[in-house]
Amino acid sequence: MWHDIWGNENSLYLEWPTITSGLERGKREMAYSLGKSSLAKLSTVDKKLWTVCQDAIKISRIDFGVICGIRTLAEQEALLAKGATQTMKSKHLDGLAVDLMAYVSGRASWELNLYDDIADAMKEASRKNEIPIRWGAAWHIDDISKWTESMEDAMNSYIDLRRSQGRRPFIDGPHFELA
């Protein structure tokens, strides 16, 4: 919508379906970028991981933010107590891991299928920069840049592997770390 020189909304413009659909198409093709809070969290992690995340957001089909960069020992202990993590040896403690959060129309979402799309973008960015990355929903793959199928397939293969071992899979879709 735009206003003419007298400040009136130009209704004619709104009635042009071709222009409107063109704008919508343009919006979808626009690359995402990280917000202030995400950049602040990302600045706490290793430069290599920083590079992969910065490239991934530009090519990702799904918008995302960084919700965790480096983590203190006290924060890790609290997460362990809650059962939100299984280890005190987390790579977050050394700034070698990030947690990403998916956004749909600007709202945070935990839908798992969004995270394998983000992982696809992280894989491409990992490959481009030759920086090995491990994903928290496919722990059995040391370097996702070497994985030739989709990251959804990667997660399914991890789940199958754990089941074949009689163990529960530990799916942490938002988590990415330097391998």
Residues binding Zn ion (CB under 5 A)? 99, 175
Cα–Cα distance, 61 to 80 (Å, whole number): 32
**In the complex, least distance from residue 138 CB atom to Zn ion, rounded to whole angstroms:** 14
> What's the sign of the alpha-carbon dihedral 143, 148, 152, 157?
negative
The token pair at 160 is 């199958």
**Pair type for strands 63-68 and 175-178:** unpaired
Cα–Cα distance, 90 to 72 (Å, whole number): 10
CB atoms within 10 A of CB 82: 8
Helix (H), strand (E) counts: the chain: 7, 5
**Which residue has the CB atom at the shortest distance from Zn ion?**
175
**In the complex, least distance from residue 30 CB atom to Zn ion, rounded to whole angstroms:** 28
**In the complex, least distance from residue 164 CB atom to Zn ion, rounded to whole angstroms:** 25
**Toward Zn ion, which CB reaches closer, 20 or 43?**
43
**In the complex, least distance from residue 99 CB atom to Zn ion, rounded to whole angstroms:** 4
**Toward Zn ion, which CB reaches closer, 63 or 99?**
99
**Toward Zn ion, which CB reaches closer, 37 or 166?**
37
**Toward Zn ion, which CB reaches closer, 19 or 84?**
84
